[in-house]
Structure 1
Amino acid sequence: MNASAASESVDRRPTTIAGYAVAMRKALEDRGVDPVRVFRAAGVSQELSNDPLNRLSIDEVTRLFRVCVEVTHDPYFGLVVAKFLHASNLHALGHALLASTSLLDFCRRLERYFRLASQVATIEVVERPGEVALVTHPLFDACAETEDAWLAIVVRFMREMFKRDYRPIYVQFRHERPPGGAGPYERYFGCKVDFGNADATLVFDRAEMDRPLPGACPEIAQANDQLAATYLAKIERSDTVAMVRSTIVGLLSTGDCTRQRVADALHLSEATLQQRLAQRNTSFQALLDETRRELACNYVQQASMSVTEITFLLGFTDVSNFTRAFKRWTGKSPTSYRKPGL
């Protein structure tokens, strides 16, 4: 392995935000179980906080779940944990998610920033005729309870944002069907569930994913997106993609966000930057375009921001250039995008 590849491999060591274990502690207390005893038996520190830099390893989470299941005699304990995880337990990501403009926007945000919550998997949004799939691709083997809690948390957040009885079309789990059967899953998700799949997947009706959400607040979402990107870059300092995205956000408004400027900010040569991005199957131009698109869609939804202001915040030289780029990204002009139904 060469030096560049070695530096990129450091971020492969998986951790999960410690705030996740706060929810586990609350779930234990709700069951009348002393969490101190459980955490001690699992060898996990009691010093937990919602600080995204306070992390637990995948092994610690797995041990903790194993002891939780043992003391509660509940093989479906992951579903219980989902009831006690709040947005604050995911720090900036949680607050940004709840301020999303639509469920599709919510899913896209998970796709971009999930690694702030956990490095165990990656998230992909797959749009199909009539449906949208939120696919969790595993990078490491996680216990069944971790998978259960994650999928249940996503659906619970969606219900809080959209409507109480919201349900997926169907759910696919990676782990095998428990000996106790699929009943608790079917009752929680309200739909057909399937086990033993390559990925963990939630599939939703396409029409419902685009509906405006009553709690949408693009300004809050945008502010927390930027905070999430900053923390993600701190956590994954060896992850060139995360570092480049964060640097682009900081340089865009200067009007001088070039590959050379970004390389200089990261103390890399342009050639090394290009090589490292290529190893992650991307490029500087692709990341610049993606970051501009994401920021543009958030900015345009903020009525207080003019198109001219957005143009220069994103580093475009004039409004016409920005408008052409925005139409390429969304199929609509900034004005039409800002007015639903046009």
Structure 2
Amino acid sequence: MATSVPDPTRQLNKATVSSAYALFMLMLAEERGIADADILANTGVTRAKLEEPDARITPLQQAAIVFNLLGKTNDPSIAIEIGLRSSLTKSGMIGFGLMSCATLGEAIQLGIRYLPTRVPFFSIRLTELEHTVQIDILEAFPLGRLRQFAVENFMVETAILFNSLLTPSHDRTMKANAELCFEWPEPPYFARYRDRLPRCHFDAPANQIRCEAALLDEPIKTANAQTAQMIVQQCEAELARLGYAESIVERVRNLLIRGSDGYPSLDALARELHLSERTLKRKLSDYGTTYSALLDEIRLRDALRLLEGTQLTVEEIAVRVGYTDRANFSRAFRRWTGASPSSRR
């Protein structure tokens, strides 16, 4: 049986990232006296191209811009700075869609659904617990050295955008009722941002945003059902244009999130998708894949993330991705990649 593994090349070279983010970085660099040419060096991108209507660049080009920005500023805290300066209007059509939703819960669901129309770097999983909502931030493909920058920026921006939808006078805000959880140790620059963010936890088991479940019912004062419907139609068309129309394969990938009991079984996925196991197997087969192949794909993605972005031992990572010992994990990893896990450190 062939094993399916991630093929990030197609995603990385496809123009799916809104140019708004690169333009904002150019503005931030200009404020610090850094020329456009320094930030756009060796990216294959020009400012004129970025300023074209609905312009998009590839994830690789966006990554090169971020590397240049970090190199010229020598300031890793710029990820948080960019996130704090986010606004709904900068978020394009999604921003207006969020403003048009009736409640924060609806806005979060809309944001998750149409995130790929802005940035393709993350896959989001929302879990509603008894009193808490848990939003897992997962890499759509390994981000390597940009992982901490990308996750910090995205999580701070998300908290700021959703917070801006709520009425501060009600004291029912993301800042007061949410938590940000990061997998790495607290960075030295975090202290100066502490008072501007929700409560943050470091060395956490996963990158997550958590908030009180009751917050999902908070109304949005700019709600407009007709506008929301129009924007949903436009965003659906944009998803299809960018090739993100969600297939059963993508739905299964998005549900294959490791929890306290491991990765979901085929039976659990079928129940979540309101299908029988037999029907789910057939639908996956129609796309030339299987549950086992997709599980291996997700295990490899998670293993690469942990190998490249954490200090966990190979034994600890083996357990995290569902193997009982290092030997079995190493054999599987070599089958997927042709190399040992330690070679990716």
Task: Find the counterpart in structure 2 of residue 307 from structure 1.
Answer: none
Contact 1:161 1:213 in 2 (8 A): yes
Q: Describe the superposition over 1:207-253 as per-residue Cα deviations: whole angstroms up to 9, x where unpaired.
A: 22211111111211211111111011111168646999xxxxxxxxx
Q: Any stretches of 5+ residues in structure 2 without a counterpart? A: 252-281, 293-345
Task: Find the counterpart in structure 2 of residue 129 from structure 1.
Answer: 130
CA shift in 2, pair 1:115/1:63, >3 Å: same
CA shift in 2, pair 1:175/1:218, >3 Å: farther
Task: Find the counterpart in structure 2 of residue 225 from structure 1.
Answer: 232
Separation (CA, whole Å) in 2 of partners of 1:181 and 1:74: 9
- The two structures, once aligned, show a CA RMSD in angstroms of 3.5
After superposing the two structures, state which structure 1 stretch, 159-168 or 145-154, moved more: 159-168
Separation (CA, whole Å) in 1 of partners of 2:166 and 2:52: 25
Confirm whether residue 183 of structure 1 aligns to residue 191 of structure 2. Answer: yes
Deviation at 1:102, TM superposition (A): 1.4
Task: Find the counterpart in structure 2 of residue 160 from structure 1.
Answer: 164
Q: Percent identity?
A: 16
TM-score of the aligned structures, taking structure 1 as reference length: 0.62
1:192 to 182, 185, 200: 200
Q: Describe the superposition over 1:281-300 as per-residue Cα deviations: whole angstroms up to 9, x where unpaired.
A: 9xxxxxxxxxxxxxxxxxxx
1:151 to 155, 176, 180: 155
Confirm whether residue 55 of structure 1 aligns to residue 57 of structure 2. Answer: yes
Deviation at 1:192, TM superposition (A): 2.8
Equivalent positions of 1:228-267 (< 5 A) are 228-236=235-243, 240=247
CA shift in 2, pair 1:62/1:215, >3 Å: same
Contact 2:77 2:190 in 1 (8 A): no
Contact 1:92 1:225 in 2 (8 A): no
Contact 1:42 1:67 in 2 (8 A): no
CA shift in 2, pair 1:242/1:105, >3 Å: farther
Separation (CA, whole Å) in 2 of partners of 1:277 and 1:93: 33
| AA at the equivalent of 1:194 | F
Confirm whether residue 13 of structure 1 aligns to residue 11 of structure 2. Answer: yes
Count of paired positions:
249
Separation (CA, whole Å) in 1 of partners of 2:232 and 2:82: 25
Task: Find the counterpart in structure 1 of residue 180 from structure 2.
Answer: 171
TM-score of the aligned structures, taking structure 2 as reference length: 0.61
CA shift in 2, pair 1:195/1:81, >3 Å: same
SS of 2:58's partner is strand
SS of 1:27's partner is helix
Equivalent positions of 1:1-342 (< 5 A) are 13-14=11-12, 15-40=16-41, 44-46=45-47, 47-49=49-51, 54-57=56-59, 59-142=60-143, 143=146, 144-164=148-168, 166=173, 167=175, 168-178=177-187, 180-195=188-203, 197-198=205-206, 200-236=207-243, 240=247, 275-276=286-287
